[in-house]
Amino acid sequence: MRPLLRIDHVAIICSDLEASRAFYAEILGFPVVSELDRPNRQSRKLDLTVPGGGRLELFSFPETPPRPSYPEACGLRHLAFAVSDIDAAIAWLAQHDIGVEAIRFDEGTGTRFTFFADPDGLPLELHERTWASPKSC
């Protein structure tokens, strides 16, 4: 029996916690569960719930280095969110002045996807899923 059940949370270090709060909570609509000041670490932590279960943890720390994206570095590449209608999701993001890349086609899964970025440039993916779509790796 495998002991791992699911991903419990994803943690992101933000350069500006208030900008990230506005993006993830107000624009993307992830409800804030808790906020914690951590003076011993000169840090703040914001917990949000994400659709389908699990949490997103946003952290602030003083003087964080920028995320290397180009060229891509080892580590977390991107976060992907399933959507049932990618065109509607792109239109919704556009209403909030969030640009997206051109839609691509995943030949392995037969689905459409695109990328946009959070305030720190972390790549976020919209991956169109119908419940009949095959699972990706």
Domain CATH number, residue 33: 3.10.180.10
Question: Which amino acid does the sequence have at 49?
Answer: T
Domain boundary among 10, 34, 62: 62
113 pLDDT more than 80: yes
30 pLDDT more than 80: yes
Domain boundary among 62, 95, 112: 62
Q: Rounded to whole angstroms, how far apart are CA atoms 58 and 33?
A: 11
Q: Is residue 102 part of a domain?
A: yes
Judge if 81 and 48 occupy the same domain: no
Quote the domain boundaries for residue 90. 76-137
96 pLDDT more than 50: yes
Judge if 32 and 58 occupy the same domain: yes
Structure tokens at 136: 């990706």
Q: Rounded to whole angstroms, how far apart are CA atoms 36 and 114?
A: 33
Q: What is the mean pLDDT of the chain?
A: 88
Q: Is-contact 56 24, C-beta < 8 A? A: yes
Q: Domain total for the chain?
A: 2
Partners of 130 in beta bridges: none
